[in-house]
Amino acid sequence: MSEILTLRIYETIGGNLAVASEDGQKVFGLLMKALQDGRDVQLSFVNIDTLTSAFLNAAIGQLYGTFKEEFIRQHLSVADIAQDDLALLKRVVDGAKAYFKDPKRAEQARREESGKGEDDDE
Amino acid sequence: MKIHLQDIRSNFEGFCRLVSFGKLIDTALWEDIDIDMSAVNWIDANMCAPLGALVHKATQEGNAVTINNIISGVQSILSKNGFLAHYGYSRLFDSWGSTIQYKRFETKDDHYFADYISRELAGKNIPTMTPALYKKFQESLFEIFSNAVIHSQTTLGIFSCGQYFHRKKRLDFSVADLGLGMRGIVKDRLNLDLTPEDAIIWSLSGNNTTKRGSVPGGLGLKLLQEFIRKNKGRIQIASDKGYWELINGDSNTQVLPHPFPGTVVNIEINTADTHSYCLACEIRPDEIF
């Protein structure tokens, strides 16, 4: 079994406010790389004071455009997160699952991930 | 061109006056615009955000804007929050710590906005706000700003301003953008032709989102609405000719006489609210994904 890799959001974004979509994108980039390399990842929210849905959608929500729910469940976990932030994350995840139920969006996400995408509105 | 401004409060009438002012300056090109404030006895300071947005738009059309004949009380507030500094007036020190400075941001300025919010709120004397409420309030401001960044497509900036009312235990904050507006975004992204007020309702409802591409969205304004309902605060949204308000848990819409060229989101929070906002619920980390 591979060792679990801990990614600390605080370290990745360089601060305690996880609010900008752009910062979420940085976290997403690392998560993608690690998961694609077959690593099990624990995402740590230690020292994070404030979170937004925009950040979480970029960091975690868009994983559902690339990976299946089962895969994410098996290989990604969260730690050091406050209860109310956990509730927010749950809503973001549920929203992302619903968002990518639309096959057009899922296809578009796959295209973007492979570098052929266009039309992203970020 | 001389324009006489009237009182502007955070209500439907205030927005009507604001968009009427916007209509007057909308066609001006290379003009001297003299905004006469001799009839203004009160401006809700947070409304400097949409007012500043309209004036900024006019300056980007090559107009030279001056603001004159300001009654001293109004001048004092608008000098303390930095609004008048944009028009040649000196700043005044805010000894009461009740203003949240007027600022203009670019859409790439998420980090500046975050610093601004931390700095502005840290220096305020808001004794009644619990840590949980403070956190929810901060999150709400970031959600509003992110919403403007992600959706508005503005090239003219995002404007914000706020005011804390010590006695009323209320904190008002406004974010205005000069983007497509909710109706324009829904039309542009989804080819859905809604009235401006229906476009606001649509944006606040269910799982609706205009997001396309790889990053999901559509949660920010819903979270804001849930928070403000629980907090017994107030939200006002003006976009195009649509006006939507949530107050005392009830929402209503009205039609403005002229369009606002973008979107304004005003929130008022009840700082004496003692709700925990900690959804101490059954969610476990291993049940998230």
CB-based burial, A99-118: b 16+ in 10 Å, e otherwise: bbeeeebbebbebbeeeeee
Contact call for A121 and B150, based on CB within 8 A:
yes
Torsion on CA atoms A72, A76, A82, A87, rounded to nearest 10: 0
Closest Cβ opposite residue A20 in set B110, B189, B207: B110
Q: Cβ of B216 and A50 within 8 Å?
A: no
Spatial contact of A89 and A60, defined as CB atoms under 8 Å apart: yes
Residue of B nearest to A43 (CA): B285
Over range B187-202, report the average pLDDT: 93
Per-residue model confidence (pLDDT) at position B276: 75
Q: Write out pLDDT tens, residues A6-18.
A: 999 999 999 999 9
The predicted-structure confidence for A17-49, as pLDDT tens digits, reads as follows: 999 999 999 999 999 999 999 999 999 999 999
Model pLDDT, residue A102: 77
List Cβ neighbours of B255 (8 Å cut-off, separation of 6 or more).
Answer: B195, B196, B197, B241, B242, B243
- Joined tokens for residue B205: 């409802």
User: Residue B230: is its pLDDT beyond 50?
Assistant: yes
A37 Cα to chain B: minimum distance (Å): 20
Looking at the complex, report in whole angstroms how far the Cα of residue B288 sits from the nearest Cα belonging to chain A.
5
Give the model's pLDDT for residue B281. 59
Whether A97 has a pLDDT exceeding 60, the answer reads yes
From the centroid of its chain, how far is CA B224? Answer: 13
Instruction: Tell me if A78 and B216 make a contact (CB, 8 A cut-off).
Output: no
Would strands B158-165 and A41-44 be described as parallel, antiparallel, or unpaired?
unpaired
Residues of B in contact with A83 (CB under 8 A): 278-281, 283
Q: Is the pLDDT of residue A1 over 60?
A: no
> How large is the C-alpha radius of gyration of chain B?
19
Q: A-B interface: how many C-beta pairs under 8 angstroms?
A: 141
For the stretch A74-89, pLDDT in tens is 999 999 999 889 999 9
Average pLDDT, chain B: 92
- Within 8 A of A23 by CB-CB distance, chain B residues are 110
Closest residue in B to A102 (Cα) is B212
Give the pLDDT band of residue A90 (cuts 50, 70, 90): very high
Contact B283, A90 (CB under 8 A): yes
pLDDT(B257) > 80 = yes
User: Closest approach of chain B CAs to the CA of A30, in angstroms?
Assistant: 16
- Asked whether the predicted pLDDT for residue A117 surpasses 50, the reply is no
Query: Which pLDDT score is estimated for A122?
Result: 37
Task: Report residue B130's pLDDT band, with 50, 70 and 90 as the boundaries.
Answer: confident
Nearest CB to A93 within list B146, B280, B288: B288
What is the 8-class DSSP label of residue A115?
T
- What is the rounded CA–CA span in Å between residue B149 and residue B272? 30
Question: B30 or B280: which carries more pLDDT confidence?
Answer: B30
The C-alpha of B106 sits at a distance from chain A's nearest C-alpha, in angstroms, of 13
| Closest Cα in chain B to A75 | B289
Question: What is the pLDDT averaged over residues B162-188?
Answer: 93
> Average pLDDT, stretch B214-218?
86
Report whether B199 contacts B240 (CB < 8 A).
yes
Residue numbers in A near B213 (CB within 8 A): 105, 108-109, 112, 117, 119-122
- The confidence score (pLDDT) of residue B275 equals 80
Residue-wise pLDDT for B131-167, tens only, equals 888 888 889 999 999 989 988 899 999 999 999 998 8
Does the beta-carbon distance from A50 to B138 stay under 8 Å? yes
Split at pLDDT 50, 70, 90, the class of A120 is very low
The answer to whether residue B215 scores a pLDDT higher than 70 is yes
Write out chain B residues lying below 8 Å of A24, CB-based. Answer: 215
Which segments within chain B are labelled E, that is strand?
A: 2-4, 32-36, 64-68, 99-105, 158-165, 170-177, 234-247, 250-270
Q: Which residues of B touch A68 (CB under 8 A)?
A: none
Facing B111 at nearest CB: one of A20, A54, A122: A20
By C-alpha distance, the chain A residue nearest B215 is A62
pLDDT computed for residue B284 by the predictor: 85
For B91, which DSSP code? P
CA B79, CA B10: separation in Å to the nearest integer? 19
Q: Which residues on neighbouring strands pair with residue B168, listed in sequence order? A: none
Strand partners, B269: B171
B214/A95 Cβ within 8 A: no
Sign, CA dihedral A114-A41-A10-A68, equals positive
Show residues of chain A in contact with B188, CB under 8 Å: none
Average pLDDT over residues B107-121: 89
Which segments of chain A are extended strands (E)? 5-8, 17-18, 41-44, 50-51, 76-79
Which own/partner contact pairs does A25-34 have at CB distance under 8 Å and 24+ positions apart? A25/A58, A25/A59, A25/A122, A25/B215, A27/A58, A27/A59, A27/A60, A28/A58, A28/A59, A28/A60, A28/A62, A28/A63, A31/A7, A31/A59, A31/A60, A31/A63, A31/A76, A32/A63, A32/A66, A32/A113, A34/A5, A34/A7
Q: Do B86 and B141 form a contact (C-beta atoms < 8 A)? A: no
Among the partner residues A81, A99, A120, nearest to B285 by beta-carbon distance = A81
ipTM of the complex: 0.86
Residues 6+ apart with CB under 8 A from A70: none
Contact A99 B216 (CB under 8 A): yes
